Amino acid sequence: MPCDCVAVEGRAPHQNGCKKSANGAAAASHHPHRKTYDEETEGAEERHVNDLRYPDGSVRLRNPHIELMDQDILYHLALGSGSHDLVEMFGDVKFVCMGGTPKRMEQFAHTIMAEIGHKLPCGTTLQDISQFSYRYSMYKVGPVLSVSHGMGIPSVGILLHELIKLMYHARVREPVFFRIGTCGGVGYEGGTVVISEEAVDGSLKNALDVNVLGNTISRPAKLDKRLVRELRGLADPEDPYDTVTGKTMCTYDFYEGQGRLDGAFCEFNESDKMEYLERIHKAGVVNIEMESLAFAALTHHAGIKAAVVCVTLLDRLKGDQVLAPKEVLDEWQQRPTKLVCRYIKRYLQMKGRLSLDGHGSIAVKSPRRFKLVQQESETYD
């Protein structure tokens, strides 16, 4: 199997803890206490991530030009290293959560605020930090950033370049990125939560092809295996829906690219479509969406742990159109959020950083009196 070991600045490939020796044999295979495949790959992932960070765990940029620049303007976020004190503003970030729409990510910010008991100073509200970019929305709730990424690979790719640079400028240590989204299931009913094990393109290739200066660079679209396992372990058996893991296919289009018959154009028939969907299903694909390839490839390239958690809106083996009513879709979209909230909460709990005494900017002393005062105010003319 080819190794995807990357050359780290100043070091040759295969010297960064990669088990592949010069003759291509896996060194571990001769060891009497051979590790399991999962331990091997997780160990390699850990080394990959560590090699790409500064010793204190902060994000190292794989671009020598940035530190030579007078200032770095993060244009699509309406932030800059010369104009903003990014360490002061973002230095305490641990989790960066992304999803398609500004509204959904504003809601996520409110949900996580209640879940982790983060209090805003009295009389203040959450503010969209990137409102003047008119591109993406960004909210900060203590150690959590909630950012909208728009639709498709180019949109999430541009955002990731700037978020990874933001992590670097703010000296954020060991950040974890999540994409919370929607998808089409392949063999799974609408409402199923899918945690991606890896991302593949429309031809099942586990890499993002980027055209740079007229040449194609392939970046492995890998996700953190341990994170997948931890998230899977947080699925509650009482949840009234399934939470599954598998390969996620990421396409450049919602219609023809995902084998739909209902786009403005279509040059294939139902049986061609079903043959393709059955084939990718057999290859381990459990869902299809439009961002995971860039999300996995760019976070992996930056040495940032990342996970993709989506909810299926329909089973593509049964149809093309999203037919569930809006209220149902709204409830389904809460499901990936719940799982990611559980993960963040558990992490902060372990670090002793969770404060659940009240939430939001209001501290309630007596719920009975609080209710009376509220009712009184509402009826006051």
By the rule CB under 6 A, 288 interacts with ligand URA? yes
Q: What are the structure tokens assigned to 199, written together?
A: 């991302």
As given in the structure block, the two tokens for residue 108 are 């996520």
Q: Does 289 bind ligand URA (CB under 6 A)?
A: yes
Cβ neighbors of 187 (< 8 A, separation 6 or more) are 281, 286, 315, 317
Per CB under 6 A, contacts with ligand URA among 142-201 are 182-184
Name which of residues 310 to 349 contact ligand URA (CB under 6 A).
Answer: 313
| Interface pick for ligand URA out of 241, 252, 254, 347 (rule CB under 6 A) | 254
In the complex with ligand URA, the residue whose CB is nearer, 137 or 292, is: 292
Closest among 253, 255, 247, 261 to 290, alpha carbons compared? 253
For residue 35, report the phi and psi dihedrals to the nearest 5 degrees: -80, 160
- At residue 131, what is the residue type? Q
Residue 337 among known ligand-binding residues? no
**Minimum CB distance to ligand URA, residue 286 (Å):** 13
Q: Does 66 show up as a binding residue in the annotation? A: no
Q: Which stretch binds ligand URA (CB under 6 A): 163-171, 238-246, 262-270, 286-294?
A: 286-294
| C-alpha to C-alpha distance for 164 and 175, rounded to whole angstroms | 10
- Find out whether 358 is annotated in a ligand binding site: no
CA distance 230 to 234: 7
The alpha helices in the chain, defined as continuous H runs, are 37-51, 86-90, 102-116, 153-169, 225-233, 270-282, 292-302, 326-350, 367-379
> Of the ranges 102-110, 172-180, 287-295, 372-380, which one interacts with ligand URA (CB under 6 A)?
287-295
Verify binding: residue 224, ligand URA, rule CB under 6 A. no
46 vs 331, which CB is nearer to ligand URA? 331
CB atoms within 10 A of CB 353: 14
181 has binding-site annotation: yes
Cβ closest to ligand URA, residue 51 vs residue 289: 289
The C-alpha atoms of residue 245 and residue 286 are separated, in whole angstroms, by 8
Site residues for ligand URA, 294-313, by CB under 6 A, read 313
Tokens standing for residue 210: 């980027």
Q: Cα(225)–Cα(197) distance, rounded to whole angstroms?
A: 7
Site residues for ligand URA, window 99-128 (CB under 6 A)?
A: none
Of 258, 285, 261, the residue nearest 187 (C-alpha): 285
Nearer to ligand URA, 130 or 292 (CB): 292
Q: Which residue number is nearest to ligand URA in terms of Cβ?
A: 184
179 annotated binding-site participant: yes
Least distance to ligand URA, CB of residue 315, Å: 10
Nearer to ligand URA, 185 or 303 (CB): 185
Helix residue ranges per DSSP H, 94-141: 102-116
Q: Is 258 within any annotated ligand binding site?
A: yes
Comparing C-alpha atoms, which of 114, 228, 210, 235 is closest to residue 157? 210
Phi, psi of 16 (to 5 degrees): -105, 30
Least Å from the CB of residue 249 to ligand URA: 9
Number of residues near ligand URA (by CB under 6 A):
9
Rounded to a whole number of angstroms, the minimum distance from the CB of residue 67 to ligand URA is: 37
Of 138, 290, 306, 311, the residue at the interface with ligand URA (CB under 6 A) is: 290
C-beta of 138: minimal distance to ligand URA in Å? Answer: 22
**Residue 180 is assigned to a ligand binding site:** yes
Instruction: Please state, as a whole number, how many other Cβ atoms lie within 10 Å of the Cβ of residue 248.
Output: 31
- The binding site for ligand URA (CB under 6 A) comprises 182-184, 254, 258, 288-290, 313
Binding site for phosphate, by residue number, is 135, 179-182
Binding site, by residue number, is 135, 179-182, 258, 260
